[in-house]
Amino acid sequence: MYLIVGLGNPEEKYARTFHNMGFLAAADAAELFGVKFKKKECEASIAEAYIGGEKVIIARPLTYMNASGRAVRQLMARYKLTPAEMVVIYDDYDLPKGHVRIRPSGSAGTHNGMRSVIAETGISDFARIRIGIRDEAVNIPIINYVLCDVKKEDYELFSFACRRAAEAAVALARGERIDLVMGRYNG
């Protein structure tokens, strides 16, 4: 079993914001599997897929970003998952816009959603896929920036980055080694 979690905010008004890159990548992962988000459980919207008979849960927490960890903790407990059976996808202000970076573990950095995941689960040794959102030309506080809509001229770049992040998550769910996935998708 494997869990792919995309972080974001559940309201429609946040759908095209930088902070919803994880939600967009999770939707792309569901599309790659040919499944839809049909269930709600553990404070998350869920899509279920299968790889070789093994279940893959794709989740988008229905809590706000800063409480994302509640849903992740509940899903891990419900399905008795280990950190090695999970990847979290999220936006990262510390990376240039459009860059994708995969890591096997790490800290929350400046991301409150990841801070919540780590605090609620008590673990940090799980895979994460970060989608860079920083635009050097924009100089506003991070808290305001992440809730801005993606500019129309950048939409294609972010669509491509979310798709790459989804492909990387699917590769991990298929059991590919993280170092190989990192080599293929980082950048």
Closest CA to 44 of 54, 57, 31, 32: 57
Catalytic residue (one of 3, 17, 19, 173):
19
The answer to whether residue 19 is catalytic is yes
**Residue written as token pair 């492909």:** 167
Distance CA(124)–CA(119), nearest Å, equals 9
Contact between 47 and 38 under an 8 Å Cβ cutoff? The reply is: yes
Angle between helices 178-185 and 155-173 (to 10 degrees): 160
User: So which residues are the catalytic ones?
Assistant: 19
